[in-house]
Structure 1
Amino acid sequence: MKDTFYISHGSPTLPIDDSLPARRFLMSWKEKVFPQIPKSILVISGHWDTGFPTVNIVQHNDTIHDFYGFPDPLYKLKYPAPGAPELALRVKELLMASGFERVDEDRERGLDHGAWVPLFLMYPEANIPVCQLSVQSERDGNYHYNLGKALSPLKDEGVLIMGSGAATHNLEVLSQDLDGVVLPWASEFDSWLKDALLQGRYEDVNQYEEKAPHAKMAHPWPDHLYPLHVAMGAAGENAKAKLIHESWHLGSFSYASYQFTTPD
């Protein structure tokens, strides 16, 4: 597993809304993006935000429907992937060995929609063990990049490391009236992020709040971007970034997703 990934998971309706190009992208995952079958999957989701790094240690993952006001069929969907308790303990071991003094365990939590929504389309059989790792939105990009660096050995242990968030994430300005039109500030932030990643300016991405245009508008809260920093850090400073999908929804929601390949 030389590659790590950052997926913009977008709307919870992704599993049932065929009008979204991101849905078709994720459904083609095994065929067009990543044909290798991982031994297990580690998801860093923007929907699990804690004071300290936390892993879920469960035998079977419940499906958490952590959203409101969506169509009823969504709440009936299940993604009963097995847990990955050995991976969770390995994540804790690696983080603590790298200087993260406290790593918590959650022995009840299942998969939030930042994890199960993309996996539902990528690996519909739900037969690959999955573990989640939380973000700490009170910290910064460098912190999460270092979190990822600590997890880098997992790539050689058959683990798919996937950050799941959104390249732009300002829920206050989404509008059905704007679908098909991208607001300039969102486009400018998304273009800056793409250029920085493809040019390998990872330090700039770590400091995006100071470096990027419209950073606070694109991410009023950083929880959905920090999974990118973890995936980036796990790939390493010499990794090459590749844009593997881009599309827009509701005027300002970017589905930009990236693959990071570590050189041999």
Structure 2
Amino acid sequence: MGVTETFYISHGSPTLSIDESLPARDFLKSFTKTVYGGGIEDKPKSILIISGHWETSHPTVNAVVGPSDTIYDFYGFPEQMYKLKYPAPGAPALAKRVKEMLMSSGFERVNVDNKRGLDHGAWVPLMLMYPEADIPVCQLSIQTHRNAAYHYNLGKALAPLKEEGVLIVGSGAATHNLRSLHPSKDGSITTWALEFDTWLKDALLSGRFDDVIGYEEKAPHAKKAHPRPDHFYPLHVAMGAAAENTKAELIHHSWELSSLSYASYKFTTTA
């Protein structure tokens, strides 16, 4: 079974795991019915997820044998969140395949971590998308000292995985400035966040992928929207993995705390 789509999911706050009031939670819970699949034949053989919460010097994949550990890489949240588990099986064969593909594409060093589980950028959205935790999952790290083009090329190198039944998901946030978060009584969105988010949507839907790769120079308020690129680079990996002929679609859009965008996208490989 081949896969023709890749995805970028804005996972937002860790409270997405428990907060029933968040529209993004409902979106992810309906993912297999409204966005991807709908039948057993559409179930991916495995999942490769790129999370903004795993940064390394060189591309690294986890290759866990057996159930993956659930990493609670957040602090000061409700106690019930630290009791959640997502014991998806690891995907060591996929990890080996990813390493081989990257190295054959010119990435000189690719590491394998045999112990690391899934951080909340991976397990929170997957827990909602595939609650049975029965699909093997491999996580790939990002390199924040590199640029967006590097991560786009990382995705391009992995594009053939789709033909092998692998679902590729980038997990981050369309806007991610934690110092700017604050409640809004009237639901208003901070101007800079709205302008960046709108620019991103327009660029993706009109196929201006080069602009998205060069977002630091092209986008309004780029540094304000992403003081660090950790939650944005997973978008570039997902975009690159969709291959050359790509159509982008906005599949969810909501806001939290005035400036945190949950905008999520599907990238479809067209003929």
> Normalised by the size of structure 2, how large is the TM-score?
0.96
Deviation per CA, 1:178-199: give whole Å up to 9, x if none: 6721001000000000011001
Structure 2 portions without partners, runs of 5+: none
The alpha-carbon distance between structure 1 residues 169 and 178, as it changes in their structure 2 partners (threshold 3 A), is: farther
Please state how far the C-alpha of 1:15 moved relative to its aligned partner: 1.9
Partner of 1:263: 270
Give 3-state SS (helix, strand or coil) of 1:110's partner: coil
How far residue 237 of structure 1 moved from its aligned partner, in angstroms, is 2.8
Give the aligned partner of residue 180 of structure 1.
Answer: 187
Q: Which SS does the other structure have where 1:176 is aligned?
A: coil
**How many Å separate the matches in 2 of 1:179 and 1:169?**
21
Structure 2 residue aligned with 1:6 = 8
* Secondary structure of the corresponding residue to residue 261 of structure 1: strand
Alignment-derived partner of residue 20 in structure 1: 22
Match of 1:153, SS?
helix
Q: Which amino acid aligns with 2:245?
A: N
Query: For residues 240 and 181 of structure 2, what CA distance do their matches in structure 1 show?
Result: 30
CA–CA distance in structure 2, aligned partners of residues 253 and 106 of structure 1: 31
Unmatched 5+ stretches in structure 1? none
Q: Which residue of 1 aligns with 2:82?
A: 75
Total equivalences in the alignment: 264
Are residues 57 and 15 of structure 1, via their aligned partners in 2, closer, same or farther at CA, if it must alter by over 3 Å? same
CA distance in 1, matches of 2:106, 2:87: 33
Partner Cα distance (1:227, 1:61) in 2 = 21
Q: Give the CA deviation at 1:176.
A: 2.0
1:238 positional shift: 1.7
* 2:44 alignment counterpart: 38
Task: Find the counterpart in structure 2 of residue 111 from structure 1.
Answer: 118
> Cα distance 1:196–1:125, how it changes in 2: closer, same or farther (>3 A)?
same
User: For residues 82-101 of structure 1, what are the structure 2 equivalents within 5 Å?
Assistant: 82-101=89-108
User: Equivalent residue of 1:168, what SS?
Assistant: coil
Is 1:52–2:54 an aligned residue pair? Answer: no
**Contact kept in structure 2, 1:178 and 1:251, CA below 8 Å:** no
Normalised by the size of structure 1, how large is the TM-score?
Answer: 0.99
Deviates more, 1:212-221 or 1:169-178: 169-178
1:179–1:250 CA contact under 8 A, matched in 2 = no
Q: Which amino acid aligns with 2:223?
A: K
Task: Tell me if 1:148 matches 2:150.
Answer: no
Q: Percent identity?
A: 71
